[in-house]
Amino acid sequence: ERLKEQAVDGIIGEIMYPSVNMAAFSYPERDVVHAVMKRHNDWIREYSSHDPERLVGIACLPLPEVDAAIEELQRVAKMGIRGAAIPCTAPLDKPYSHPDFEPFWDAAEEAGLPISMHIFCGSTPDMGLPAHWGSPGRSIVGYTMAHGGMVSTLAQLICGGVAERHPNLRFVCCEFETGWLAHVLQRMDHAA
């Protein structure tokens, strides 16, 4: 059915993000996270198999558990999945540039899969959002400021040397828009 709908709409293909399953990034029960992500990844591989050129499914990886994330990354790469998502924000006590994440970046670069970070998919239940975002206008405020976590993550990846140590690693920042990017890069240049 999906392929028929694409044909009617003149769409040649789509990248399918795990939307609802990305909320699992912040579940405190990590065994549940692993099970949800593994099941999603099995499902998206099967669903995409009907036409892998037009249905590109994105896997979920259970970071910050590095060993589990590497194991799942290698598994989905062998299955032919062409991209994987991680939380857009690292744990508050350990940025993605921390040496503990280095084995994951090694494995991701070796696998050759783009690593995606999607809006509102952080590593904490509140995704690092201030408590006052529960006030009136929160949707507008939340969307307006949502790129803040990605700014921090991007700065960690660049300034912490991850991008330099892994020149073949590809990152995708999804639905964060790009208007802020030039300003952030200019600020990093200025700070350097």
Structural domains of the chain sorted by starting position, each given as residue range(s) with its CATH number in brackets: 2-191 (3.20.20.140)
Residue pLDDT, tens place only, 122-178? 655 555 555 665 667 767 777 777 788 888 899 999 999 999 999 999 999 988 888
Neighbour-count burial for 59-90, b at 16+ CB within 10 Å, e otherwise = bbbbbbebebbbbbbebbbebebbbbbbbbbb
Mean pLDDT computed over 70-79: 98
pLDDT of residue 134: 62
pLDDT of residue 108: 98
Q: Which of 3-12, 43-52, 141-150 is predicted with the least confidence, judged by mean pLDDT? A: 141-150
**SS3 call for 146:** coil
Token duo for residue 6: 């694409």
Which are the contacts of 86, defined by CB distance < 8 A and separation ≥ 6?
25, 61, 63, 69, 115, 116, 117
pLDDT of residue 64: 92
Percent of the chain with pLDDT over 90: 64
Average pLDDT, the chain: 89
Choose between 25 and 184: higher pLDDT. 184
pLDDT of residue 145: 77
Choose between 146 and 93: higher pLDDT. 93
CA angle 123, 124, 125 (to 5 degrees): 125
Choose between 23 and 60: higher pLDDT. 60
H-type helices in the chain, by residue range? 2-9, 30-48, 66-79, 102-111, 138-145, 147-159, 162-165, 181-191
pLDDT of residue 26: 79
pLDDT of residue 176: 82
Mean pLDDT computed over 96-106: 98
pLDDT of residue 129: 56
